[in-house]
Structure 1
Amino acid sequence: MQFIVAIAALAGSVSALPFLDGEAVSGTPVYQESPAELLKRDLSYKQKAILQHNLHRANHSAGNVTWDSNLANWAKKLAETCVFAHDVTIGNDTAAFQATSGYGQNLAAGVKGDNITMIINDLWYGSEINWFGDMYDQANPDMTDFHEWGHFTQVVWEDSVKIGCSTVQCNRTITNTGDNVQPYLTVCNYSPPGNYMGEFDKNVKEPLGQPSASWDTGLS
């Protein structure tokens, strides 16, 4: 039997727990495909990650995220260590990092990169949203079960507007997991970071009840 595991990060800490661009232009209108149309297409890893985040963010009245190559590169460096533990200091010696307020992070192990949709939809969103319960209006929710819902809140965190993700196949068992976890490590970084105490009520809105995707919605 194979297992999959995930952890998120709380802003301001580094631990093996959940972490407690565009210009306006005028001219001819541009046709944009609906999410339903996009779901039918053969999308790249990057496109899948962006689309799945934005589907769920829209359901919580949060704006779209865009891809950030620096965040993706730092995610890749962490994934390549094959250690299942947070590290939000990678890149801190660069001008790109120093120009930001840092970044938040979600991790998952045991799922291939071509199924990034399953990680976002099932592990980080679908399996966690109900754990958040009735805490949507609380700036400082009870953190007792943070490990059960911290990925979800980072995914829909309104102020986190940039993401960068990477999935790496390791040539050994991933440290801090187990022999029954397939050797695939996924890291998604978020900027600005989410999961700040005192700011949950402003950044995690109640769901609108819109349909959301699942791992087999045609993307994997």
Structure 2
Amino acid sequence: MGCFKSKPAKSAKGETSIKDFRNQTLKAHNERRKKHGVPALKLSSDLNNYAQQWADNLAKTGNIKHSDCTLKGAKIGENIASKWSSDGAVYTGEEVTEQWYREISKHNYSAESSTGSGHFTQVVWKESKQLGVGRAKDSTGKLIVVASYRPPGNVIGTFTKNVFPPK
């Protein structure tokens, strides 16, 4: 698999099943991708497993950072989001995707790199075809979501071929 192993973290109270959460996140991604004229993503079981293991690892260690691993010898893209809640509030697939997508306001469509819009550009990256989603809750109540993408986005020099303004 990858370069990390951890025990699964506890799910947040009131959260939908991981299957439903993944489907919500996929739907939210594809609604936004459609606005930009790029093909829909499909869920991938190995990317789901990878994203879940990384989310569990982040919840266990408390150190929110990107993985540096490859999956099956290939690089993957990754978005991470977290939200702390003292009242057990849930983090929906729509909410987390919108959080990433809001970076659209920082994106320059004529640039071949991204400054402050990397989560947005990964969500709508044309060449990305598959999505994996993981979700975990740490001991302080922080909700953590990891999305893995294949092929990865945010490749310097190819932004104008992969990220288009909304129609």
TM-score (normalised: structure 1): 0.60
SS of the residue corresponding to residue 71 of structure 1 reads: helix
SS of the residue corresponding to residue 87 of structure 1 reads: coil
**Count of residue pairs brought into register by the alignment:** 141
> Larger % of helix: which?
2
Identity %: 28
1:31-180 superposed matches below 5 A: 44-81=20-57, 82=59, 83-89=63-69, 92=71, 97-98=72-73, 101-110=74-83, 114-121=91-98, 123-126=99-102, 128-132=103-107, 135-138=108-111, 140-141=112-113, 143=114, 146=115, 148-172=116-140
SS of the residue corresponding to residue 92 of structure 2 reads: helix
CA contact (8 A) 1:163 1:191 kept: yes
Task: Letter of the 1:72 partner, please give it.
Answer: N
Aligned CA distance change for structure 1 residues 75 and 154 (closer, same or farther; 3 Å):
same
Q: Distance in 2 between matches of 1:58 and 1:85?
A: 29
Structure 1 residue 114, shift from structure 2 partner: 4.8
CA RMSD across the alignment: 1.8
Runs of at least 5 residues in structure 1 that lack an aligned partner in the other structure: 1-42, 173-181, 209-220
Q: Distance in 2 between matches of 1:73 and 1:170?
A: 18
What whole-Å deviation, never above 9, does each CA across 1:55-87 have from its counterpart, x for those lacking one?
A: 000111110000001111111111112231000
Task: Letter of the 1:87 partner, please give it.
Answer: S
What whole-Å deviation, never above 9, does each CA across 1:117-170 have from its counterpart, x for those lacking one?
A: 11101x1012x11111xx2133x23x5xx2x21100000000011000111011
CA contact (8 A) 2:22 2:93 kept: no
Runs of at least 5 residues in structure 2 that lack an aligned partner in the other structure: 1-18
Task: Letter of the 1:115 partner, please give it.
Answer: T
Question: Could you say which structure has the larger radius of gyration?
Answer: 1
Segments ≥4 residues shifted beyond 3 Å: 111-114
